[in-house]
Structure 1
C-alpha cells in the first residue's frame, strides 16, 4: 500500500515543485456561532444543516490555509451527530487537514457545544470529514503540499484519512460495476 501523501507523484503542470510539507496544526481553524431561536427545527433542537454549513465553512478555511489559495468542496465523506444542540448554545467547529493527495485535502471537523444552561464545559455534538480540492484562478485543480502529523493523535487521524481515501476508491470501483443510471 502506498502512503497517501507521497511526494514522489508527478506534478500536474510544469509549475515548480511545492515546498516541503506542513504540520497538521498549521491548517487548524476554529469557527463559532451562537444558536438563536430562529435556528431551531420543528422539534426545538438546532437544525443539523446549520452544523453541516459550519463544518463546510471551517473546513474551507483549513483547506485554504494549508494550500495557500482557493479550494472547493469535493465531497462530504461523513457527518455524524452525537448530541442535539439548543438555542442559546455556543457551537464551535475546529477543522484541520488530516491527509493530502495530489490536489485534494482530507479535512476533519470536530463540533462542540458550550451549553448556555450548563457548567460551561464543552460537549462534542458532531464530527465531519470533508474533501476539498485546491484550484487555481481558472478553477482547475492544482497541486498541494503534503501534511505531516506530529502527535500520536495526529498520526491516528492521518491514518484514518488514508483509510477513508482507500474506502472512497473501493466504493467508487464497486459502484462502477453496478452501472448505476445517471441522475437527471
Structure 2
C-alpha cells in the first residue's frame, strides 16, 4: 500500500459501496490562460511555475469531477517541459483521470500553446502526472470509483499509469532500505 492509499484518519469501514466505474472521458477538464509579458522569466520565455500551477488546477478539477467531491494534491509524479512558451501565447491544459486506487486518482495533464504569431495549430509544450486523494468534509480519505478506458489511447494511458504506480512503490521501498539515521 502506498502512502496516498493509507488512511490518515478514521478507516473507511462505514463507507457506502460506490457505483460502477466511469469512462476516462467523463473526468476531462480543460483550462486556458494567456501568457502576459509580466509572466516572463529572465530569459524571456514563460515561467515554468505558471504551467505547474495550471496543471495542478486542471488536474484538481478532473479529480473532483471523477470523485464527485473534494480532492487534494498528494504528489506531482512528473512534469516534463518540451518547448518554451512566450508572452502572447494562449496555453491550454487538458486533464483526465487515468487510473484510480482505493482513494487516489492519477491524473494526466497535457499542456499545449496556441502561438501568438498567428499560427492556428496547437503545439504540445508540457505534460504532467499528478496524484490526488479524494477527501470528505473532515479531510479524511474517501473511496473513489474506478475509471475505465474506452479507446486504444486511453488503454495505453491506463497501463502507463499502472507502471508509474509500481515504480513509485518500488522507489519508496528502496529508499526505505537506505534511509539515513535521524538528525540530532
**Per-residue displacement from partner, 1:138-168 (whole Å, max 9, x unpaired)?**
0000000000000000000000000000000
Runs of 4+ in structure 1 over 4 Å off: 181-184
Change (3 A) 1:182 1:62: farther
Q: CA deviation at 1:72?
A: 0.2
Q: CA deviation at 1:181?
A: 5.2
Q: CA deviation at 1:182?
A: 5.8
1:3-152 paired onto structure 2 within 5 Å: 12-152=12-152
| SS in structure 2 of the partner of residue 169 of structure 1 | helix
Change (3 A) 1:55 1:180: farther
| SS in structure 2 of the partner of residue 46 of structure 1 | coil
**Distance (whole Å) between structure 2 residues aligned to residue 31 and residue 87 of structure 1:** 17
Unaligned runs of 5+ in 1: 1-10
Change (3 A) 1:110 1:116: same
TM-score by length of 2: 0.92
RMSD: 1.4
Unaligned runs of 5+ in 2: 1-10
Q: CA deviation at 1:183?
A: 8.3
Change (3 A) 1:122 1:38: same
Q: CA deviation at 1:60?
A: 0.1
**Per-residue displacement from partner, 1:94-121 (whole Å, max 9, x unpaired)?**
0000000000000000000000004211
- Aligned residue in 1 for 2:177: 177
TM-score by length of 1: 0.92
Aligned residues: 174
**Per-residue displacement from partner, 1:63-114 (whole Å, max 9, x unpaired)?**
0000000000000000000000000000000000000000000000000000
